[in-house]
Amino acid sequence: MELLSYINPEDPSGGIIRQTVAGVPGVNAEILTDTALFSEALKRLPYPGNVLLALGTMEDFRFAVAAQELFRDIMLILILPDRSRKTVDMGYSLWPRYVAYPDGDFNDLRAVLTHMALVNTYGQQLSRSNL
């Protein structure tokens, strides 16, 4: 499964997120640390796309909210910077399929990515068998 990711290089949980993503079999992640490069890659993402967005700062969050139309038809995994009501409400305006927080151990993130990779692989096998 292809996974386009944005992780802020200054995010303290960025290393753990990278390790978590890298440890999931079947996931080929492109991890970007620049919002401009991420935005360009997102525009080229084939449908349906898989995206992990780790919003480590409020500046990242403002970028994501400004670009929210780009997230409408993709499988978005969102890691919010905190659990405040305002942050969570803004996060759900991006239509995520899954939401995580930096104060967790990311085992749940690993499980979600594993499931997505299995579904993706199974779907590809079905498509090939119908040729």
Residue 47 pLDDT > 50, yes or no?
A: yes
Neighbours of 87 (CB within 10 A): 16
Could you give the number of structural domains in the chain?
Answer: 1
Residue 125 pLDDT > 50, yes or no?
A: no
Residue 26, domain CATH: 3.40.50.2300
The pair of structure tokens assigned to 21 is: 């993503």
pLDDT per residue over 60-101, tens digit each?
888 888 888 888 888 999 999 889 999 899 899 898 999 999
What is the bridge-based pairing of β-strands 28-32 and 98-100? unpaired
Of 78, 81, 83, which Cα lies nearest the Cα of 97?
78
Q: Quick check: helix, strand or coil at residue 70?
A: helix
What's the pTM? 0.86
Give the range of the structural domain holding residue 56, as residue numbers without chain letter: 2-129
pLDDT per residue over 105-119, tens digit each?
899 999 999 999 998
Higher pLDDT, 125 or 108: 108
